[in-house]
């Protein structure tokens, strides 16, 4: 390769990065949806697991004829399969919680801006309180109070995340309220419902929507962290985070693959979401386009 | 273009063609633009929005974004080709030999730095480091020259402690710091009030005459051009339409477009018999205006506002509050003539918009009475509780933010018919009729606001206000965000439609000529009080109020008859 081609590659590194992360993200979703059909084994069906094949290194041939490309964990489950099934749980939990958090945050933020006075004061003080605490602490307190379970962890992530949407939506809604078309709506004495649903909400949504992919990355990481700490999803439905945690105790005995490969999968997932969301933000904002390399 | 005096030519733009690349495709922003700037002259660059005049200014400053691409042509400055310069060479030219003044004086100054050091920084950056010791004296000298009084005492003052006009003077001082050959002034007075505008323009002229600097004055305002420029370049859609000496060009424009621009400028009609009130009666007004004024005098006013006082309290908790409440309106009384247009004129901060919003019920006042026909409203209570809200419709200043961007024009108008006090009838037919009346095409109803031009949007706003069936419309600077040629159309439409529909209107503006063209009676606001009031004839011909006279005189003489 000549220096010229190298320079060209370097110049368009951003685009390659986005294309790559987009493709990766797409394949993650496809794999997660089709996991039951493409996974070599159902890692949570005890009949398919052979205990004597526990902690096999990558490349071992299984008794049932396929190859453990990434090895097996301490219970003899195929790592490839645990990753595929874990991905389903991770994505389900994070997407659900992010959408719920966005909906609640947007509604409360816009309401705070529109109604003002004590509604605004109450909502925003709760937001302030929550954003002043470390997210992991809020999540831990929530989980400890709520107890374990997939629905509880979704709720915990919603509790952590809604405040960010609320604060953003309130700011945007306030600036929209200052625009003349809102005055025009008041002059027509439109019902409150109509003002909020037809005028304010549709115009305050865009920035909150660009926040969704970013928060999705956070949600996955948060879920993985909680699961790693043993406070996340239940043992019979392990996510990527709990799979990493499973192998943690074996790391020191040299059985690196149990933790490493799910960890890499998790890392690549979050990284690709973050890159893709940056790309989306970039494309949606015409003003930032000119500063691109 | 042939340069008639090569020695005098300081800057020469030859056949410049610029393209703007975007994901949507490339658009040509400048087409084959040629012009010459001579030493010690003010060259006016005039055109409506989208004419490419600011782009040309930025090109001369080397400040174009990378997505602009020079297709052809060159810019020659004092024997140097500016196009091929890199950023390092530019830093030796920009700010030192070519500097700039922008429209927004607030954004041009660092709010956290006192103006003295700020100016000194500009001086040190552009002149020899050896002059460090003298920088303070140079700063004081410059500040004095641009007309900042007590420069020594004000050296440590911050930008927010100055008025808008003074801030623009400081920006001019910074532009002068490097003793430049050229100053590009991009709409330097558009954000200023008429009287201040006049002073700043006079200062620019003075500086040109004293220092021999050349100025390229980018503007949309024919009045500014006629006041101080030596030569004018008229631009439209990226092309130079016409250029020549200001006086000659304005007297006898050779192109239709220039003529239409000139015609669109609202003109002030003044009689010479200012001091002779007995004669003034017969002068200055056209017959129909006369008739209207008489009708207004006979009929009872539709709206009476008495002694309205409004104060804004400074934000902050009780004892943390700084200073006293700001008085926006002080016992203001206004009457609105039935079936006619009443004008309120004032500079920024005069309270003219506040009274408009109080009349519309959008804001509360501290004290006062307001009645529409025989209905009395409590101005101290929010509009929706006192019943005032919904009685009056408004037309706002900026059409870009007056329409819900997520609703089609049809949806917006239907909403107005449905929720307003409109008379019975088929909404679709009402809307179709109104669109026709306002010369808007029917297919527009399926469009969204961003697909419309500024003038179209403002017409939709007029349609929305009229369709709600109000008795009174408050129009708050409805034309000031529009291009001159569009302004004229909107004013004509307002005049016809309002009268035709039997609506009374309050027209709020900073532009005396516009108010004169539209209104039968006029209130002049100043610092939250009514400074002067009377019929249009009285205000323009007979009023002896010095403030009123000052406002009238601040208008460019060319656009006064």
pLDDT for the residue numbered B210: 87
Q: Locate the DSSP E strands across chain A.
A: 60-61, 67-68
- Do residue A184 and residue B360 have CB atoms under 8 angstroms apart? no
Residue B95 is given by DSSP the state: T
* Among A132, A118, A198, A141, CA closest to A163: A132
List Cα–Cα distances, A24 to A221, A269, A273, in angstroms. 17, 8, 9
Comparing A51 with B284, the larger pLDDT belongs to A51
* Among A141, A143, A145, A105, CA closest to A126: A105
Give the minimum alpha-carbon distance from A273 to chain B in angstroms, rounded to a whole number.
Answer: 24
Whether pLDDT at B274 is above 50: no
Comparing B78 with A73, the larger pLDDT belongs to B78
**Residue A179 contacts B, CB cutoff 8 Å:** yes
**Which helix (DSSP H) or strand (DSSP E) does residue B208 occupy?**
helix B194-211
Give the minimum alpha-carbon distance from B475 to chain A in angstroms, rounded to a whole number.
Answer: 12
Nearest 10 degrees: Cα torsion A51, A57, A61, A66: 80
Chain Cα centroid distance, residue B429: 37
Label residue B460 by pLDDT band (50, 70, 90): very high
- Do residue A180 and residue B468 have CB atoms under 8 angstroms apart? no
- Do residue B390 and residue A180 have CB atoms under 8 angstroms apart? no
Label residue B128 by pLDDT band (50, 70, 90): low
List Cα–Cα distances, B406 to A181, A191, A202, A280, B132, in angstroms. 11, 18, 7, 21, 57
- Range B331-334 contact pairs with CB under 8 angstroms and sequence separation of 24 or more: B331/B307, B331/B368, B331/B529, B332/B305, B332/B307, B332/B308, B332/B368, B332/B525, B332/B528, B332/B529, B332/B530, B333/B304, B333/B305, B333/B306, B333/B307, B333/B308, B333/B530, B334/B303, B334/B304, B334/B305, B334/B359, B334/B506, B334/B523, B334/B530
| Domain assignment present for B512 | no
pLDDT tens-digit readout, B96-127: 889 988 888 788 889 899 988 888 888 887 76
**Residue A274 contacts B, CB cutoff 8 Å:** no
- Do residue B66 and residue A290 have CB atoms under 8 angstroms apart? yes
Which chain A residues are closer than 8 Å to B416 by Cβ? 188
Comparing B462 with B83, the larger pLDDT belongs to B462
Which chain B residues are closer than 8 Å to A202 by Cβ? 404, 406
pLDDT for the residue numbered B394: 93
Nearest 10 degrees: Cα torsion A51, A54, A58, A61: -30
Residue B31 is given by DSSP the state: E
Per-residue tokens: B96: 């030192």
- Do residue B419 and residue A198 have CB atoms under 8 angstroms apart? no
**Residue A284 contacts B, CB cutoff 8 Å:** no
Which residue of chain B has the CA closest to A176?
B401
pLDDT for the residue numbered B279: 35
| Domain assignment present for B500 | no
Structural domain boundaries, residue B169? 106-179
CA B156, B159, B165, B170 torsion-angle sign: positive
- Number of domains, chain B: 1
Whether pLDDT at B545 is above 70: yes
Alpha-carbon distance B40 to B10, whole Å? 9
Of the residues B385, B410, B415, the best mutation for testing chain A's interface (the one with the most A CB atoms within 10 Å of its CB) is B415
Per-residue tokens: B468: 């709600």
Label residue B461 by pLDDT band (50, 70, 90): very high
Per-residue tokens: B76: 């020659």
Please name each of the domains of chain A with its CATH number. Answer: 16-42+74-289 (1.10.3720.10)
Give the minimum alpha-carbon distance from B44 to chain A in angstroms, rounded to a whole number.
Answer: 30
| Domain assignment present for B130 | yes
* Among A133, A214, A223, A136, CA closest to A168: A214
pLDDT tens-digit readout, A150-170: 888 899 899 989 999 999 999
Q: Locate the DSSP E strands across B23-145.
A: 25-38, 42-46, 68-77, 80-81, 98-101
Which chain A residues are closer than 8 Å to B66 by Cβ? 290
The minimal CB distance from B65 to the residues A181, A186, A290 is found for: A290
Which chain A residues are closer than 8 Å to B419 by Cβ? 188-190
Which chain B residues are closer than 8 Å to A284 by Cβ? none
pLDDT for the residue numbered B423: 66
- Do residue A179 and residue B389 have CB atoms under 8 angstroms apart? no
Per-residue tokens: A42: 């159902």
Percent of chain B with pLDDT over 70: 88
* Among B294, B348, B347, B285, CA closest to B518: B285
- Do residue B468 and residue A187 have CB atoms under 8 angstroms apart? yes
Contact between A83 and A265 (Cβ < 8 Å): yes
Nearest 10 degrees: Cα torsion A163, A166, A167, A170: -170
- Do residue B394 and residue A187 have CB atoms under 8 angstroms apart? yes
List Cα–Cα distances, B256 to B234, B236, B242, in angstroms. 12, 12, 10
- State which residues of chain A have pLDDT below 50: 286-293
Label residue B270 by pLDDT band (50, 70, 90): low
Whether pLDDT at B467 is above 80: yes
SS (H, E, C) B485-533: HHHHHHHHHHHHHHHHCCCEEEEEECCHHHHHHHCCEEEEEECCEEEEE
- Do residue B402 and residue A198 have CB atoms under 8 angstroms apart? no
Give the minimum alpha-carbon distance from B45 to chain A in angstroms, rounded to a whole number.
Answer: 27
Establish, for the pair of chains A and B, how many residue pairs have beta carbons separated by less than 8 Å: 62
Which chain B residues are closer than 8 Å to A290 by Cβ? 65-67
| Domain assignment present for B171 | yes
- Print burial letters for A97-134: b (CB count within 10 Å at least 16), e (below 16): bbebbbebbbbbbbbbbbeeeeebeebbeebeebeeee
Alpha-carbon distance B298 to B125, whole Å? 67
pLDDT for the residue numbered B475: 92
| Distance between first and last Cα of chain A | 22
Of the residues A110, A116, A172, A180, the best mutation for testing chain B's interface (the one with the most B CB atoms within 10 Å of its CB) is A180
> What value does the mean pLDDT take over residues B264-272?
67
| Distance between first and last Cα of chain B | 35
**Residue A181 contacts B, CB cutoff 8 Å:** yes
Give the minimum alpha-carbon distance from B158 to chain A in angstroms, rounded to a whole number.
Answer: 28
Which chain A residues are closer than 8 Å to B468 by Cβ? 187-188
- Do residue B389 and residue A187 have CB atoms under 8 angstroms apart? yes
Which residue of chain A has the CA closest to B397?
A180
pLDDT for the residue numbered B215: 92
Comparing B6 with B278, the larger pLDDT belongs to B6
Which residue of chain A has the CA closest to B68?
A290
Contact between B45 and B217 (Cβ < 8 Å): yes
Which chain A residues are closer than 8 Å to B464 by Cβ? 184
pLDDT tens-digit readout, B472-495: 999 998 888 787 778 888 888 888
pLDDT for the residue numbered B382: 83
Which residue of chain A has the CA closest to B457?
A181
Of the residues A189, A199, A206, the best mutation for testing chain B's interface (the one with the most B CB atoms within 10 Å of its CB) is A189
Per-residue tokens: A9: 């590659």
Of the residues A11, A173, A181, A191, the best mutation for testing chain B's interface (the one with the most B CB atoms within 10 Å of its CB) is A181
- Do residue A289 and residue B396 have CB atoms under 8 angstroms apart? no
- Do residue B407 and residue A198 have CB atoms under 8 angstroms apart? yes
Three-class SS state of B268: strand
| Domain assignment present for B528 | no
pTM of the model: 0.74
The minimal CB distance from A187 to the residues B66, B390, B401 is found for: B390
Burial of B330 from C-beta contacts in 10 A (0-12 / 13-18 / 19+): middle
| Domain assignment present for B552 | no
Three-class SS state of B76: strand
pLDDT tens-digit readout, B403-433: 998 899 999 999 998 888 766 678 888 889 8
pLDDT for the residue numbered A293: 30
Task: Characterize the bridge pairing of strands B68-77 and B80-81.
Answer: antiparallel
Give the minimum alpha-carbon distance from A257 to chain B in angstroms, rounded to a whole number.
Answer: 45
Query: Taking a contact as any Cβ pair under 8 Å apart, which residues of chain A between 183 and 242 contact chain B?
Result: 183-190, 198-199, 202-203
Label residue B287 by pLDDT band (50, 70, 90): very low
- Do residue B394 and residue A184 have CB atoms under 8 angstroms apart? yes
- Do residue A184 and residue B67 have CB atoms under 8 angstroms apart? no
Contact between B422 and B413 (Cβ < 8 Å): no
Comparing A61 with B173, the larger pLDDT belongs to B173
The minimal CB distance from A290 to the residues B67, B361, B401 is found for: B67
| Domain assignment present for B385 | no
> What value does the mean pLDDT take over residues B373-386?
83
Label residue B278 by pLDDT band (50, 70, 90): very low
Which chain B residues are closer than 8 Å to A188 by Cβ? 390, 415-416, 419-420, 468
Which chain A residues are closer than 8 Å to B402 by Cβ? 179-181, 184
| Domain assignment present for B160 | yes
List Cα–Cα distances, B295 to B301, B338, B501, B502, B540, in angstroms. 11, 8, 16, 13, 20
Comparing A247 with B514, the larger pLDDT belongs to B514
pLDDT for the residue numbered B507: 93
Whether pLDDT at B373 is above 50: yes
Which chain B residues are closer than 8 Å to A189 by Cβ? 384, 389-390, 419
The minimal CB distance from A179 to the residues B390, B392, B401 is found for: B401
């Amino acid at each position: 390769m000549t220096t010229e081609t190298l320079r060209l590659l370097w110049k368009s590194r951003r685009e390659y990065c986005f294309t790559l992360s987009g493709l990766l993200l797409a394949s993650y979703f496809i794999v997660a949806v089709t996991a039951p059909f493409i996974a070599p084994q159902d890692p949570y069906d005890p009949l398919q697991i052979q205990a004597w094949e526990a902690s096999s290194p990558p490349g071992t041939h299984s008794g049932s004829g396929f190859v453990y490309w990434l090895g097996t964990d301490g219970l003899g489950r195929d790592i490839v399969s645990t990753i595929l099934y874990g991905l389903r749980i991770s994505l389900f939990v994070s997407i659900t919680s992010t959408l719920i958090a966005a909906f609640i945050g947007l509604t409360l933020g816009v309401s705070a801006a529109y109604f003002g006075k004590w509604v605004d004061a109450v909502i925003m003080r709760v937001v302030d309180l929550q954003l002043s605490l470390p997210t992991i602490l809020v999540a831990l307190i929530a989980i400890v109070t709520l107890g374990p379970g997939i629905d509880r962890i979704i709720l915990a992530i919603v509790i952590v995340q809604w405040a960010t949407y609320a604060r953003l939506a309130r700011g945007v809604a306030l600036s929209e309220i200052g625009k003349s078309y809102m005055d025009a709506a008041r002059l027509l004495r439109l019902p409150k419902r109509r003002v909020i649903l037809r005028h304010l909400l549709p115009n305050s949504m865009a920035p909150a929507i660009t926040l969704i992919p970013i928060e999705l990355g956070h949600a996955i990481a948060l879920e993985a962290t909680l699961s790693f700490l043993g406070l996340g999803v239940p043992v019979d439905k392990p996510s990527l985070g709990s799979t990493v945690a499973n192998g943690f105790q074996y790391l020191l005995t040299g059985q690196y693959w149990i933790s490493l490969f799910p960890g890499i999968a998790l890392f690549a997932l979050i990284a690709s979401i973050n890159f893709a969301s940056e790309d989306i933000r970039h494309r949606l904002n015409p003003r930032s386009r000119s500063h691109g390399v | 273009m042939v340069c008639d005096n090569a020695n005098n030519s300081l800057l020469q733009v030859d056949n410049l063609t610029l393209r703007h690349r975007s994901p949507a495709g490339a658009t040509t922003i400048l087409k084959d633009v040629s012009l010459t700037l001579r030493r010690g002259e003010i060259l006016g660059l005039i055109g409506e929005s989208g004419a490419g005049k600011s782009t040309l200014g930025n090109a001369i400053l080397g400040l174009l974004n990378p997505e602009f691409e020079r297709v052809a042509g060159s810019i020659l400055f004092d024997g140097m080709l500016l196009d091929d310069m890199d950023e390092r060479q530019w830093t030796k030219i920009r700010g030192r030999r070519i500097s700039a003044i922008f429209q927004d004086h607030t954004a041009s100054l660092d709010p956290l730095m006192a103006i003295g050091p700020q100016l000194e920084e500009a001086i040190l950056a552009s002149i020899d480091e050896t002059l460090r010791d003298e920088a303070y004296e140079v700063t004081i000298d410059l500040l004095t020259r641009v007309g900042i009084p007590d420069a020594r005492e004000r050296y440590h003052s911050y930008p927010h402690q100055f008025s808008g006009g003074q801030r623009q003077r400081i920006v001019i001082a910074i532009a002068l710091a490097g003793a430049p050959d050229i100053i590009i002034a991009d709409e330097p007075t558009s954000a200023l009030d008429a009287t201040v505008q006049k002073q700043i323009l006079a200062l620019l002229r003075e500086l040109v005459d004293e220092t021999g600097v050349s100025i390229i004055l980018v503007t949309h305002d024919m009045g500014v051009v006629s006041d101080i420029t030596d030569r004018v370049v008229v631009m439209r859609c990226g092309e130079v339409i016409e250029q020549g000496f200001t006086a000659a060009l304005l007297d006898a424009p050779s192109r239709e477009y220039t003529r239409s621009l000139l015609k669109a400028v609202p003109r002030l009609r003044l009689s010479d018999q200012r001091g002779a009130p007995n004669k003034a009666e017969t002068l200055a007004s056209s017959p129909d205006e006369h008739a209207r004024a008489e009708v207004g005098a006979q009929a009872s006013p539709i709206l009476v506002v008495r002694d309205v006082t409004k104060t804004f309290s400074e934000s902050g908790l009780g004892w943390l509050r700084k200073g006293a409440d700001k008085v926006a309106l002080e016992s203001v009384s206004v009457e609105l003539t039935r079936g006619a247009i009443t004008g309120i004129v004032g500079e920024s901060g005069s309270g003219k918009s506040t009274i408009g919003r109080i009349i519309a019920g959008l804001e509360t006042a501290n004290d006062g009475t307001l009645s529409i026909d025989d209905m009395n409203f409590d101005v101290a209570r929010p509009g929706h509780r006192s019943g005032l809200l919904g009685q009056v419709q408004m037309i706002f200043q900026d059409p870009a933010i007056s329409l819900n961007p997520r609703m089609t024009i049809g949806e917006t108008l239907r909403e107005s018919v449905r929720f307003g006090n409109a008379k019975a009838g088929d909404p679709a037919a009402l809307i179709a009729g109104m669109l026709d009346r306002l010369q808007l095409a029917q297919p527009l109803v399926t469009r969204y606001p961003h697909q419309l031009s500024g003038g179209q949007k403002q017409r939709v706003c007029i349609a929305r206000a009229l369709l709600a069936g109000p008795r009174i419309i408050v129009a708050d600077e409805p034309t000031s965000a529009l291009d001159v040629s569009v302004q004229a159309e909107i004013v004509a439409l307002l005049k016809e439609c309002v009268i035709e529909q039997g609506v009374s209107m309050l027209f709020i503006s900073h532009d005396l000529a516009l108010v004169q063209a539209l209104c039968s009676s006029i209130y002049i606001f100043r610092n939250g009080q009514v400074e002067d009031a009377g019929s249009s004839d009285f205000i323009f011909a007979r009023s002896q109020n010095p403030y009123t006279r000052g406002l009238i005189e601040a208008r460019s003489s060319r656009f006064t008859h």
